[in-house]
Amino acid sequence: MSALLELANDIESTQIGTAIAESRYAFPIIEGVHLVALSISVGLIFLTDLRLIGVLLRHVPVIDVLRHLRLYVLGGFLVVFVTGGLLFWAEAVAVVESPATPFKFAFILLAGLNATYFELVVAKRPEIAASRGTLPLSARFAGYASLSLWTLVIIFGRLIAYVPHWS
């Protein structure tokens, strides 16, 4: 843990890390872009999940929902990760010290695994391609899981600033 803390300190002490942290505008702008980009990526994922559980866009085939939105979801995530990386660069120690951080990233990982499993396995099944009426349980489960996991990511992401230390 101490080695990680030292590494975090080294990262945030670099020229770029310091520049972002000390700049009046850089940090808030980067954080703002982080939030807008996640509105796009996580937001469109929420809409996809609502399709999977059958409460939204019921007339749109699931394959179309996945395919047409993919570009914007992935593009949004790219921006989220780049801005997230910059925010970490500026505040590495605070991030490493907060108990909320491991939970946030664990839930991101689980959400990613859920999405990957859904796309590679579940979405290829013929019942999903047919997309008629209520989707099979596997699809609905993926939808509920995704909604829950991304909500937890948002919650723990916000808690990083509010729970700075373990004790």
Partner 1 sequence: MSIDALLTQIEGTGASHWIAKANHLFMAGLQVVHVIGFILLLASLLLISLRLLGLVFTSQAIPQVARGTTRLLWLGLALAVISGAIMFIGAPKHYFYNPAFGTKMLLLAVSVIVQATLFARVALSEEPHPVLARVGVGLALAFWFAVSLAGRAIGFV
Residues engaged in binding partner 1 (CB under 8 A): 24, 28-29, 31-32, 35-36, 38-40, 42-44, 46-47, 50, 55-60, 64-65, 68-69, 72, 151, 154-155, 158-159, 162
Nearer to partner 1, 11 or 157 (CB): 157
Q: How far is CA 144 from CA 35, 62, 87, 125, 151, in A?
A: 22, 15, 30, 19, 11
- Min dist. Cβ of residue 32 to partner 1 (A): 4
Nearest Cα to Cα of residue 156 among 114, 95, 113, 115:
95
- Min dist. Cβ of residue 3 to partner 1 (A): 30
Nearer to partner 1, 110 or 159 (CB): 159
Question: Do residues 49 and 144 lie in contact, with contact meaning Cβ atoms separated by under 8 Å?
Answer: yes
Nearer to partner 1, 138 or 154 (CB): 154
Largest CA distance in the chain: 56
Residue whose tokens read 């047409």: 68
Let me know how long the chain is. 167
- Min dist. Cβ of residue 110 to partner 1 (A): 19
- Min dist. Cβ of residue 34 to partner 1 (A): 10
